[in-house]
Chains A and B, each alone.
Chain A
Amino acid sequence: MVLTGAEIVIRCLQEEKVEYLFGYPGGAVLHIYDELFKQEKVRHVLVRHEQAAVHAADAYARSTEKVGCALVTSGPGVTNAVTGIATAYMDSIPVVILSGQVPTAYIGQDAFQEVDAVGVTRPCVKHNMLVKDVRDLAASIKKAFHIAATGRPGPVLVDIPKDVTAQKCEFAYPKSVAMRSYNPVVKGHSGQIKKAVQLLLEAKRPMVYAGGGVILSDAADKLTKFVKSLGFPITNTLMGLGGYPGTDKQSLGMPGMHGTYEANMAMQYSDVLIAIGARFDDRVIGDPAHFAQVARKIIHIDIDPSSISKRVKVDVPIVGNVGDVLDEMIKLLDATEERSDPDALATWWKQIDEWRARDCMKYKNSDEIIKPQYVIQKLWEVTKGDAFITSDVGQHQMWAAQYYKFDKPRRWLNSGGLGTMGVGMPYAMGCQFAHPGSPVACVTGEASIQMCIQELSTCKQYRLPIKIINLNNRYLGMVRQWQEFFHGNRYSESYMDSLPNFAKLAEAYGHVGLEVDKPGDVEGALREAFKRKTDLVFLDFKIDQTENVYPMVQGGKGLTEMILSSEDL
């Protein structure tokens, strides 16, 4: 069958079972938009800024096990999308971005809306390609979906010049992809896996440290089974929340800069640490030299060999897909009666419980002023811990991660790696499209929300009943906190003046807006919001301006050098 390039693009998306295509039209992609118009299988979502298109596609992928897909035009369409692409890249999220390009004959001539899309995005994609010949188009798109979803996932950009979308060729969608240069490992080395299991069974102070790889590999059930059968303590990173039930007693909460006291102490003083789909990044272990002061054996499971022994030296590296490796480990555990020394494990748990007794997450609630932690706790109660929660970046992100206990994977969507302010609402959009009828809340702040506020319009167009939980402290809260701790209370440019009336702003976009400034009204407002099943409700909580996120490990310090409360300052 002979088709035009534009028809081929749409057929490929249909073959890949793309439900939603998040995008924004423009000159270079007009042929593609014309073909979109003529069919109904791929539903296009018109965002208000290309950054949001990629974020929404990213969230669609994060909240499902599928690949997200976005379409943008050439030039500014691509440059606007870069933040979205880099965000997905840092968190290893499978997204395919199709970008328009000026006609092949114009490339390199500084044509209108021309940008070297492949060059601009190269450092923040897993792979990208410019399709110069319509005969390569179908194979390139197939490759893009394959590369995005396999191995360590990531965004892939396919740049398509306008003339290629008009040219015709015979269409046949490739059934499979074979690349001599790209064959990601799946199964781990069985000898290494045996060695790891042996080490775990001999451990006196074992600790499981699980990251986003568990979520990406859809291995939460396996991880839970594995940890339960061993009776070990576990900590889930910011990206790994929900990979193990957060309400379970073996869960020590999140590790790292704003992690719990018990998780950080147990990471530091364990004798065998198993890292599963996590990468020992600076926000988790702080100073690697300080972390290395305590001798411990480290087992590291990761699909990406370059993540292993990058920041800490690993004793038992296992390169493979987390799910497959855990399967192997569970099989080995099932086949043996041997378990860790129960006395040693009991002593270890006794120590952990002493750390836990510090109750590092306690905060002083107030009857007068709303505490942000209280809002998140109520949000958790009102949604019965079962909502999809997206967040922006800053203090509210940390409070949401700390006080909303995630029991299931893919329920917590945030920009962990790049730390992109503005992702919250587009993430909620992508998530709501993927899960119509499920409660989706965006925990944000008055600064972050304004970075993609225009998407309130998209939410109206598609009737997305998102609940926006705006923790409004009139400050760039995390910046203000660092300035208070480390810059002598000089609040340089961190105060937000001339804020809009968010409730009215939401109303102007056709939504429901509510202002809440009394602690006594928090729960009622949340209940009211979630009762409105068809409305987007913008809850503007006026919170305590001076509240800080605790515990805190200062950047560059050791994991156990925590500030637990204002008394430690």
Chain B
Amino acid sequence: MRHVISLLLENEAGALSRVSNMFSARGYNIESLTVAATEDPSMSRMTIVSIGSDDIIEQITKQLNKLVEVVKVVDLSEAAYLERELMLIKVRATGKDREETKRMADIFRGRIVDVTESTYVIELTGSATKLDSFIEAIDKSLILETVRTGVSGIGRGDRILRI
């Protein structure tokens, strides 16, 4: 099962490698990992997407909690939550593909943020599956490069992760 785990950790040198090291040392999988400072610059917020059985995910959250620099851990996917990922995708845009690609970007509520005679860069935000669907929807041979940020997640409503 896919889980979105969110954590607060001290914004200190080495904290990220402690987290990633724990995953590789114990053989857990990371689908994506994003991290940046919060409104309080002494603290970072990290979102990790991992795939594993309930037992494994339970161990992952316990092992994360055990790291001295980790302040709080929550499995967002246990209840209502939102996830967003940003993708920048550069596509070949010539001839009839130019119009078709623009239309597809509109359908997915993407924005074209860079235009040349032969290319577009499309900015697209959404859940990971939405970004996957966009890639599926356009002609593969047009894709020049893609870059994705990985998932950021937040709980809905009163679910708040802070200290």
To the question of whether A and B form a pair in one complex, the answer is yes
- Taking beta carbons and an 8 Å cutoff, which residues of A are in contact with B? 118-119, 122-123, 126-127, 129-130, 147, 152, 179-182, 304-306, 309-310
User: B62, A305: Cβ atoms under 8 Å?
Assistant: yes
A119, B20: Cα distance in complex, Å: 12
Residue numbers in A under 8 Å from B96 (CB-CB): none
Partner of A122, one of B17, B58, B63, B71: B17
B163 touches A180 (CB 8 A): yes
Instruction: Give Cα A119–Cα B13 distance, bound, in whole angstroms.
Output: 11
Nearest-neighbour CB distance to chain A for B61, whole angstroms, equals: 9
Interface membership of chain B positions 121-163, coded 1 if the CB is closer than 8 angstroms to chain A and 0 otherwise: 0000000000000000000000000000000000000000001
What residues make up the interface of B, taking CB atoms closer than 8 Å to A? 9-10, 13-14, 17-18, 21, 25, 55, 58-59, 62-63, 65-66, 68-71, 163
The reply to whether A305 and B17 form a contact with Cβ atoms under 8 Å apart is no
| Secondary structure dominating the interface of B | helix
Within the complex, the shortest CB–CB distance from A337 to chain B, in Å, comes to 38
Min CB gap A122→B, angstroms: 6
> Do residues A123 and B25 form an inter-chain contact, with CB atoms below 8 A?
yes
Contacts of B14 in A (CB 8 A): 118, 122, 129-130
Q: B59, A310: Cβ atoms under 8 Å? A: yes
A306 partner residues in chain B, CB cutoff 8 A: 59, 62-63, 65-66
Q: Using Cβ atoms and an 8 Å threshold, which residues of chain A touch B9? A: 181
* B17 and A182 contacting across the interface, CB-CB below 8 Å: no
Bound Cα distance from A180 to B43, whole angstroms: 11
Point out the residue from A119, A123, A126, A305 that lies within 8 Å of B68, measured CB to CB.
Answer: A126
Sorted nearest first, the 6 A-B pairs with minimum C-beta distance are: A306-B62, A127-B68, A181-B71, A305-B62, A182-B68, A123-B25
Q: How far is the CA of A126 from the CA of B22 in the complex (A)?
A: 12
Q: How far is the CB of A363 from chain B (nearest CB, A)?
A: 40
Report the separation of the CA atoms of residues A179 and B14 in the bound assembly, to the nearest whole angstrom. 17
A119 CA to B14 CA, complexed, in Å: 9
**B17 close to A309 (CB less than 8 A):** no
Across the interface, name the chain A residue whose C-beta is closest to B15.
Answer: A181
Contact residues in B for A127 (Cβ distance below 8 Å): 68
Task: Please determine whether A123 and B21 come into contact, CB atoms closer than 8 angstroms.
Answer: yes
Residues in A with CB closer than 8 Å to B21 are 122-123
Which residue among A122, A181, A310 has the maximum number of chain B CB atoms within 10 Å of its CB? Answer: A181
Contacts of B10 in A (CB 8 A): 181
